[in-house]
Amino acid sequence: MTHLVADTLSCISVPDAKSLGLAYLPQIIIFGDESFRDDTEMDSETFISRLKASSVLPKTSAPYPSLYHPFFEKMAPSAEPILVICPSKLISGTVRSAETAVADFPNLDIRIIDTGTIGSALGSIVRKAVEWQKAGLTADEIEAGIKELSLRSRTYFLVDTLEYLHKGGRIGAAQALVGSMLQMKPILYIHNGMVDAYTTERTRKKALAKFLEVILAECPQSEDACATIEHGGVLEQARELAAVLKTELNVKEIPLTFLPPAIMVHGGPGVLGVSFFAAK
């Protein structure tokens, strides 16, 4: 059976990753001289508390190449293909880290897949890959499915400020907005593997209304869209949005995910996002 490797930027909880049978790696959160794994050493709530109290903006690091080694060594005897499902290489260094690790295992069939996305969209792709794995699809079939879903993946998110994205160097063309719009409420999206500006509003209320309008215009009214909501400590807003989307999209459930620290480093507290798959 094909092996699957993912990391915490997929917004899958550690218990869920274990139950799914994933080889699961952390991102690293760095506050000054201290570093923390975001799978076992720092959860999202602890991160927000520390971020608000810190005068220094934290940094992130992709999984160290050495963290892949135990997984690859354990998988090696099976001689089955290994698919490493990664966040966008234009947002995270995870692809580069995985490539470094894979170079130490030249005799294994290890395939690094850049999904071009991050967060719950990546999580939905990983969960689909697990479904296909358990259904007995081949590595080639799973890889093709991942790439097809990646092309249809959509993520929009609302942030309170561009400050964190700007300082972290994660906003692509949205940098043009920084000077005049740091006080605006931007709606951003993942575009061509990067975080880019979609539009802005002057108040959070107006931004939420526009955010909902965009989602309803683009998200298919189908369970197959796998719509999910991700948030950075604004659970009530996420619940309210989920209630509206369930009705408008005619779906039974929309999962809510507390964003992992490595995403909130750049999005900041208060970020609210929606991910889904566009129609074929």
pLDDT in tens, 193-206: 998 889 888 888 89
Other CB atoms closer than 10 Å to residue 116's CB: what's the count? Answer: 23
**In this structure, are 10 and 148 located in the same domain?**
yes
210: CATH? 3.30.1180.10
pTM here? 0.93
> In the chain, what's the furthest Cα-to-Cα distance?
57
- 116-137 per-position pLDDT tens digit: 999 999 999 999 999 999 999 9
Domain boundary among 86, 120, 152: 152
Please report, for residues 118, 176, 185, 214, the alpha-carbon distance to residue 203 in angstroms, rounded to integers and kept in the order given. Answer: 26, 20, 6, 16
Provide the number of structural domains found in the chain.
2
CA–CA gap between residue 128 and residue 277 (Å, rounded): 12
Angstrom distance (rounded) from CA 152 to CA 174:
22
Q: Which of 94, 123, 152 is the last residue of a domain?
A: 152
Amino acid symbol at 176: A
Instruction: Note the pLDDT of residue 182.
Output: 54
Q: Which of 37-51, 101-115, 176-190 has the highest mean pLDDT?
A: 101-115
Angle at CA of residue 6, ends 108 and 57, nearest 5°: 125
pLDDT at 57 over 90: no
Cα 94 to chain centroid, rounded:
12
| Whether residue 145 sits in one domain with residue 59 | yes
Say if residues 14 and 24 touch (Cβ distance below 8 Å).
Answer: yes
Q: Which domain holds residue 250?
A: 153-277
How many other CB atoms are found less than 10 A from the CB of residue 256?
Answer: 15
